[in-house]
Structure 1
Amino acid sequence: MSLASLDQLCQKIGYEFKDTSLLTMAVTHRSFSADNNERIEFLGDSLLNMIIAEALYRRFPGIDEGDLSRIRSVLVSGKTLATIALEFDLGRYLRLGAGEKNSGGQRRASTLADVVEALIGAIYLESGFDVCRERVLAWFAPRLSALNPESSHKDAKTRLQELLQARKQPLPNYQLIETAGADHQQTFVVACSVSLLTSSVSASGSSRRKAEQAAAEQVLLALKEVE
C-alpha cells in the first residue's frame, strides 16, 4: 500500500499511525499473507465490546444488564461494523489475495467488519486504551446519540415478533436452508417467512442465531417498503 493511500485512510478514520506496519497489518486479509489481521482483529473485538459496554452503562443508568447487552449486540454487530467500514470506504484499502479479490472480498460485509475491529486493535497497540476509546466513541457517536432506550435494545427477531402480534398475524417461520464452510468458519443461511410478504427473505451469518437475526432485520425492512 502506498504512503498516499495510508494517509488517505488515516484521514478517514481520524487517526494517524506512526507505525504504518500496524495499519498495513490491520487491512491485510489472511488470503493475502500469513502476516494478517486475524490476531489484531481478535484484540479489537474485545476492546470494542468493552468500550461500547462502558458507554452504554454510563449513558443508560436505568437499564438492566439484559437490555444493555441487547443494545450492545446491535451496536457491535457485523452489520453495523460493515456500515462503518463503508463510510470509511475501507474496501479500497484492503490487501486481499487474488482469489478473494476476484470473488468480491472487498465488498463482503464480514471482511469489512473484521477490518474495523482490526483497526481498533491496531490503534490500541500503538496509543493505548484512552486514545482507542476516544476513536471508537467518535466512530459510534451518531449511533449512540440516536439510541432510543425504549426500543433500541430489542433485537430484530423480537421487534418482528411484536410487529406481527400487533397486526394479529402468525409468528415468523425460520428455516435453515444452507450451511457452508469448514467447521471452524461456517456460514449459515436462514430463510424467514411471514404472512405479510409473498416470498421468504434469506440472510446469512456466522451462526444460525446471527443468520436468523439478519433475516428478521431484512423482513422488517421489506415490510416497511410495502407499507
Structure 2
Amino acid sequence: MSEMLNKHRLHALQKLSTKLGVQFGNVNLLHQALTHTSYANECKHTTMLHNERLEFLGDAVLDVVVSEYLFRQFPNLPEGELTKARAVVVCEPTLARCSAELGIGEYLFLGKGEAGSGGRERTSILADAFEAIIGAIYLDNGFENTATFVLKQLQTDLSLLARGEYVKDYKTLLQEVVQKNTDSKIIYEIIDETGPDHHKVFKVAVHVNGKQLGSGQGKSKKEAEQHAAKQALIELKVIND
C-alpha cells in the first residue's frame, strides 16, 4: 500500500493526524483505516487493503475503553445498567457524529459509485471509519493513547451519562411499561417517507391498543421509532420532556 502514499496523500494524512491529536509512526495504518471496501474492490489489480479488519479491532478496543470508563465512573451501577449506558455511547449515530466533526469524510477513499451516492456523509461508513481509526491508533500508539483519544472524542456523550442520562432505549422502556398490562399491544407505523433513497427521512407513529401516543422522525426507521416511543413515554408521564 505504501506506493499509494504520494506527497498529496501524505500531506492530507498529516493534516488529519493533527486534527486527531495523534502522531502515527506508521501512517499506512491511518491510510488503510480510511480506505473503504468499495475503493479496494475497484483496484483489483493491486493488493489494496481496506479498513474492515481495522474496524473489527477498533470496535473491540472501543468497547473495552468505554466499559472500563463506566466501570470506574459508576461503581454502584449494576451490570444491566452498565450495558445500557455503553450502548447509548457506542452506537452508530454517535460514532458517525464524531467522525463527521473530525471531517473524516473528506479523507475517505471510496469507490466511484459510493462516492457519487453520498458515501462521505453516510452514517454507516463514517461510523465504521471511526472504529477503523481507533484500531489504527491502537496498533500504532498502544492502548493508553487510544483510550485518551476515545474518551476525548466521546466527552460530550460521557458527560451526559455522568448526569444520569443513560436510559435512551425508549422502545424497550415503553415495552416494559405496556407489558404491565398483558392485553396491551404496541404497533409502530411508518406514516411518511421523504428524501432520496440514500438520504431518506422516516416519520413513524406508535399506537398502543389502537391509540396513537406519539410520533417521531429520523434517518432510519429504528431512529424514528425511538423518537416516537419517547413521545409516547412523555404522553404516559413515564418520563419528562
Deviations 1:112-158 (A, max 9, x none): 00000000000011111111111111111222122156441341324
2:68 match: secondary structure = helix
Q: Does 1:85 align with 2:99?
A: yes
Q: What does residue range 53-68 of structure 1 map to in structure 2 within 5 Å? A: 53-68=67-82
Match of 1:216 in 2: 225
Report the 3-state secondary structure (helix = DSSP H, G, I; strand = E; otherwise coil) of the residue aligned with 2:39. coil
Q: 1:202 to 1:87 in 2, by over 3 A?
A: closer
Structure 1 runs not aligned, ≥5 long: 178-188, 205-210
Cα distance change of structure 1 residues 162 and 149 upon mapping to structure 2, 3 Å threshold: farther
Aligned to 2:25: 18
Structure 1 length-normalised TM: 0.76
Aligned length: 202
One-letter amino acid of the counterpart of residue 16, structure 2: L
Give 1:3 shift: 2.5
- What's the secondary structure of 1:28's corresponding residue? coil
- Equivalent residue, structure 2, for 1:184: none
Alpha carbons of 1:86 and 1:21: their partners in 2 closer, same or farther (altered >3 Å)?
same
Are residues 1:41 and 2:46 paired? no
In the other structure, the counterpart of 1:29 is 36
- How far apart are the structure 1 equivalents of 2:96 and 2:141? 24
CA contact (8 A) 2:62 2:150 kept: yes
Equivalent AA in structure 2 for residue 217 of structure 1: Q
TM-superposed deviation, 1:76:
0.6
SS in 1 for 2:38: coil
Decide whether the 8 Å contact of 1:71 with 1:152 is kept in 2.
yes
Map Cα deviations across residues 63-99 of structure 1 (whole Å, 9 max, x no partner): 0000100110110100100110111011111110101
Q: How well do the aligned residues superpose, as a CA RMSD in angstroms?
A: 3.2
Note the residue ranges of structure 2 that are not aligned, 5 or more in a row: 1-7, 41-47, 192-200, 207-211, 235-240
Residue identity (%): 41
Alignment check: 8 A CA contact 2:29 2:136 kept: yes
**Please, which moves more after superposition, 135-144 or 96-105?**
135-144
Corresponding residue number in structure 2 for 1:95: 109
Say which SS state the counterpart of residue 80 (structure 2) adopts: helix
CA distance in 2, matches of 1:4, 1:221: 45
1:145 to 134, 159, 174: 159
Give the Cα separation in 2 of the matches to 1:144 and 1:22: 28
Tell me which of 159, 162, 170 is aligned to 1:156. 170
Confirm or deny: 8 A CA contact 1:28 1:36 kept in the other structure: yes
CA distance in 1, matches of 2:84, 2:163: 11
